[in-house]
Amino acid sequence: CLPRTNQLEALLTIIRDKDTNRGDFIFYSDRIIRLLVEEGLNHLPVIEKKVITPTGSEFNGVSFKGKICGVSIMRAGEAMEQGLRECCRSVRIGKILIQRDEETAQPKLYYAKLPPGIENRYVLLLDPMLATGGSAIKAIEVLLSYGVKEDKILFLNLIAAPEGIQAVTSRFSQLKIITAFIDEGLNEKKFIIPGLGDF
């Protein structure tokens, strides 16, 4: 969970307010998404790297170990793609479309377009809301079927319900979930409370 700073609390308050206009909702959501991506990148492994600075001095730093890509769960997850692009130049992004089957009420995969060689990358899975966890679990199953290792998946979302976190982590204990806020829970309609409505 992102650190509870005054800045984050203020941003979350703005996007939760039913009177916030669309432009402000997008702007302030994008700021939170950027914070989530930055935190996600903090969880990627690094290796030591020595460079020479313009002054001719040595600097002992680090560089990322391995390549990354983003995968958005359509359609809401696509809103997080720009924040990832702003932090990672020319990052490859795949898409997964999952919708609830009207007869079974179970999540069903309708579309998956993933970057070539995804099995060798760290994957930032993007979806703003984690409610029941059904879509996330299905998306993770798709990534695993493409050869992505579970411990190379970082699931980024703005608001999570404890029920969704429990559902995902009970199935996949090695992936990381990075969220801006854990809400109270789900109501009888499976909406996150207090939430922010339909992202």
Check if the beta carbon of residue 122 is closer than 8 Å to that of residue 66. yes
Determine whether 35 is exposed, middle or buried from the number of CB atoms within 10 Å of its CB (0-12, 13-18, 19+): buried
Tokens of 53: 């600075």
pTM greater than 0.75: yes
Determine whether 77 is exposed, middle or buried from the number of CB atoms within 10 Å of its CB (0-12, 13-18, 19+): buried
Per-residue pLDDT, averaged over 34-43, amounts to: 96
Confidence of residue 33 (pLDDT cuts 50, 70, 90): very high
- Is 192 a residue whose pLDDT tops 90? yes
Q: Where are the alpha helices (DSSP H) in the chain?
A: 6-16, 22-42, 81-87, 134-145, 162-171
State pLDDT tens for residues 142-174.
Answer: 999 999 999 999 999 999 999 999 999 999 999
State pLDDT tens for residues 94-146.
Answer: 999 998 777 776 888 999 999 999 999 999 999 999 999 999 999 999 999 99
Residue 159: the pLDDT is 97
Residue 148: the pLDDT is 98
What distance in Å separates the CA atoms of residue 15 and residue 55, rounded to the nearest whole number?
46
- Is 43 a residue whose pLDDT tops 90? yes
What distance in Å separates the CA atoms of residue 191 and residue 163, rounded to the nearest whole number?
11
State pLDDT tens for residues 46-73.
Answer: 999 999 999 999 999 999 988 999 999 9
Per-residue pLDDT, averaged over 11-17, amounts to: 98
Residue 103: the pLDDT is 76
CA 55 to chain centre: 39
